[in-house]
């Protein structure tokens, strides 16, 4: 199954583009599911029919689904209270009833991740189009599975579960309850669920499609998003320039001349930066319904891969180093920071940060320096004599 993750700045029309992309694919006979996390039915407004918590067929070969965050949140909380009953009773905690529970911020995003996992596992569709939140929230959402799995491994190391037979003895010695089996089982189940979501995001058949209006605000958002995606090992397959004004309207002296010239300049800069730009014309109205979505002429689904390679080149014979190449388009040298923490590397690029495990060969090396050249971070590693094979 192919997956298209669509995001862009708030107000850029990403939901409309997602709806149009899904509808265009369905028109070609592709079994398509479009997902959205919007609390309001913006997706349904674009499609011309309501959508909700149950997958609904809105056109031939097209299903729309807005997962219900409230129900999922209540179910998860109820399950947690049931499993943690002994610990909650020990603390004298008062149970929460489902009727009094309101989803916390972020519940919509978590519901979207769960739906993304379920849709991928079901394999009932050929194409999944995901209307992600606006770019800041979308970037946090895409990083969530990897970060949560890392936290779980640190807080509940799987190898500790092997000592479960000793917990009753340790509990009597310490005089306090030890972590119960359900806690490790829950952690393992969460890890599997998060791994399934992470696999969908990292799959070579998953692409990220950016939507932005050509202009100063859109240009700034695209520049930041491109860097953040690269740090996550992704890149956009296409940049959809939405609401492009027709050049024919650029009559000298008219009020449209300035915004058209501004859009033209931004489009040229995007292409010079290497973006594959697809312009979507401004209809002069808010698109509503299948007819308007057809008129948008959004880009078709293609076969490009969104995976960014981070290769390690062997220069031991020439310079005595291994070089790790990390593409970071748009990164600024003064805003880069690297910290080695055991077998992990903390990479900070501006406001974005990622903790990545070192490739196995580099774990036996020490960092010898780094440099930023032509949008690529190159980190030099030299073998550690105490760890490198044959060095003793």
Contacts 24+ apart (CB under 8 A), 10-14: 10/134, 12/211, 12/212, 12/213, 12/218, 12/221, 12/242, 13/211, 13/213, 13/242, 13/243, 14/131, 14/132, 14/134, 14/211
pLDDT in tens, 285-312: 989 999 999 999 999 887 655 567 899 9
At residue 271, the pLDDT reads 95
- Output phi, psi for 344, to 5 deg: -125, 155
Q: Which range among 80-84, 322-326, 343-347 shows the weakest confidence by mean pLDDT?
A: 80-84
Q: Per-residue pLDDT for 383 more than 90?
A: yes
Per-residue confidence at 176, pLDDT binned at 50, 70, 90? Answer: very low
Which comes out higher in pLDDT, residue 346 or 113? 346
Q: Per-residue pLDDT for 185 more than 60?
A: yes
pLDDT in tens, 205-230: 899 999 999 999 999 999 999 999 99
What is d(CA 14, CA 302) in angstroms, rounded to the nearest whole number? 18
Per-residue confidence at 158, pLDDT binned at 50, 70, 90? Answer: low
Residue 80: CB atoms within 10 Å? 14
Q: What mean pLDDT is predicted for residues 187-195?
A: 82
Which residues make Cβ contacts (< 8 Å) with residue 326, sequence separation at least 6?
310, 347, 376, 377, 378, 379
Query: Percent of the chain beyond pLDDT 70?
Result: 84
Per-residue confidence at 178, pLDDT binned at 50, 70, 90? Answer: very low
Averaged confidence pLDDT in the chain: 85
Per-residue confidence at 18, pLDDT binned at 50, 70, 90? Answer: very high
Per-residue confidence at 127, pLDDT binned at 50, 70, 90? Answer: very high
At residue 181, the pLDDT reads 64
Q: Which range among 46-55, 157-166, 258-267 shows the weakest confidence by mean pLDDT?
A: 157-166
Domains in the chain, ordered, with CATH? 2-69+104-295 (3.40.50.300), 312-383 (2.60.40.790)
CB contact at 8 A, 335 and 352: no
Q: Per-residue pLDDT for 77 more than 80?
A: no
């Amino acid at each position: 199954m192919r997956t298209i993750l669509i995001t862009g700045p708030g107000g850029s029309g990403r939901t409309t583009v997602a709806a149009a992309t899904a509808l265009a694919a369905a028109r070609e006979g592709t079994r398509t599911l479009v997902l959205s996390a919007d609390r309001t039915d913006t997706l349904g407004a674009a499609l011309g029919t309501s959508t909700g918590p149950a997958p609904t067929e809105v056109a031939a070969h097209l299903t729309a689904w807005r997962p219900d965050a409230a129900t999922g949140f209540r179910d998860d909380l109820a399950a947690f209270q049931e499993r943690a009953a002994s610990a909650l009773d020990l603390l004298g905690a008062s149970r929460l009833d489902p009727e009094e529970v309101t989803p916390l911020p972020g519940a919509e995003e978590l519901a979207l991740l769960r739906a993304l996992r379920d849709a991928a596992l079901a394999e009932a569709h050929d194409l999944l189009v995901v209307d992600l939140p606006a770019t800041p929230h979308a970037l946090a959402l895409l990083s969530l599975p990897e970060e949560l799995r890392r936290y779980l491994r640190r807080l509940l190391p799987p190898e500790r579960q092997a000592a479960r037979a000793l917990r009753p003895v340790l509990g009597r010695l310490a005089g306090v309850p030890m972590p119960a089996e359900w806690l490790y089982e829950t952690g393992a189940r969460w890890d599997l669920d998060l791994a399934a979501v992470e696999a969908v995001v990292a799959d070579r058949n998953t692409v990220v499609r950016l939507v932005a209006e050509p202009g100063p605000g859109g240009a700034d958002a695209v520049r930041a998003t491109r860097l953040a995606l690269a740090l996550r090992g992704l890149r956009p397959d296409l940049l959809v320039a939405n609401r492009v004004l027709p050049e024919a309207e650029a009559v000298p002296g008219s009020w449209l001349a300035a915004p058209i010239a501004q859009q033209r300049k931004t489009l040229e800069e995007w292409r010079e930066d290497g973006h594959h730009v697809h312009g979507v014309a401004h209809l002069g109205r808010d698109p509503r319904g299948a007819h308007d979505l057809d008129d948008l002429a959004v880009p078709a689904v293609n076969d490009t891969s969104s995976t960014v390679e981070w290769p390690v080149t062997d220069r031991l014979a020439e310079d005595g180093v291994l070089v790790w190449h990390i593409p970071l388009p748009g990164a600024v040298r003064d805003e880069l920071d690297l910290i080695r923490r055991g077998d992990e590397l903390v990479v900070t690029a501006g406001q974005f940060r990622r903790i990545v495990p070192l490739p196995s060969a580099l774990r036996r090396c020490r960092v010898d320096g780094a440099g930023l050249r032509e949008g690529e971070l190159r980190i030099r590693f030299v073998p550690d004599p105490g760890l490198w094979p044959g060095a003793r």
